């Protein structure tokens, strides 16, 4: 589906993903994984479709996480994977109930059409129903388009993680 075709779809539905959606989730995962590999081949690898299907299928069955699928017509155009968990109090930090957005993917042809915002809104509504204190997500520094979308949805940076490598290693598969 091209962006023009996706934009013509009057309805983008957001629904809970099911095991039958695994192939669509795997297909959507390709775009975001390709971006990560292109930017950080030293860190990311190309998983097989079977590996991604097994991982996402496991998440769909674990009962601890939720995956929402954005659908235009009959085509999956994005998904969001989130889980709610308790972060226990320790000597430095208070206890918190967090909705962690672990993955968000919007197909290239569906970007800038509100799909990501709708998925994020779904995670916020889910978190509200489950009494969370905050929603958190992590994004790589190179993914500036996503950062703009997250800020527009009310997310703000909360910490930065720095890296220093010993030397530039060759990617290993």
Angle subtended at Cα 164 by Cα 157 and Cα 172, rounded to the nearest 5 degrees = 105
Q: SS3 for 163?
A: coil
Q: Could you count the other beta carbons within 10 Å of the beta carbon of residue 69?
A: 20
pLDDT of residue 139: 96
pLDDT digits (tens, 9 = 90+) for 7-28: 555 689 999 999 999 999 999 9
User: Is the separation of the CB atoms in 115 and 78 below 8 Å?
Assistant: yes
Q: Could you count the other beta carbons within 10 Å of the beta carbon of residue 81?
A: 22
For residue 6, give the H/E element and its range.
helix 3-8
pLDDT of residue 45: 96
Q: Which CATH superfamily hosts domain 3-152?
A: Gcn5-related N-acetyltransferase (GNAT) (3.40.630.30)
pLDDT digits (tens), the chain, 173 positions: 555 455 555 689 999 999 999 999 999 999 999 999 999 999 999 999 999 999 999 999 998 899 999 999 999 999 999 999 999 999 999 999 999 999 999 999 999 999 999 999 999 999 999 999 999 999 999 999 999 999 999 999 999 999 998 875 566 66
């Amino acid at each position: 589906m091209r962006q023009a075709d996706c934009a013509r779809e009057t309805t983008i539905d957001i629904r809970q993903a099911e095991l039958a959606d695994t192939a669509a989730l795997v297909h959507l995962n390709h775009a975001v994984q390709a971006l990560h590999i292109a930017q950080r081949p030293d860190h990311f690898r190309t998983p097989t479709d079977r590996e991604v299907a097994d991982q996402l299928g496991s998440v769909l069955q674990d009962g601890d996480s939720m995956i929402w699928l954005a659908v235009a017509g009959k085509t999956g155009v994005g998904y969001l994977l989130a889980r709610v968990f308790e972060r226990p109090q320790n000597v430095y930090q208070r206890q918190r109930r967090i909705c962690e957005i672990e993955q968000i993917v919007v197909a290239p042809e569906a970007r800038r059409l509100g799909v990501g915002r709708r998925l994020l809104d779904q995670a916020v509504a889910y978190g509200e129903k489950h009494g969370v204190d905050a929603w958190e997500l992590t994004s790589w520094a190179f993914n500036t388009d996503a950062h703009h979308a997250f800020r527009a949805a009310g997310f703000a940076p909360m910490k930065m993680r720095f890296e220093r490598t010993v030397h530039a290693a060759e990617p290993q598969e």
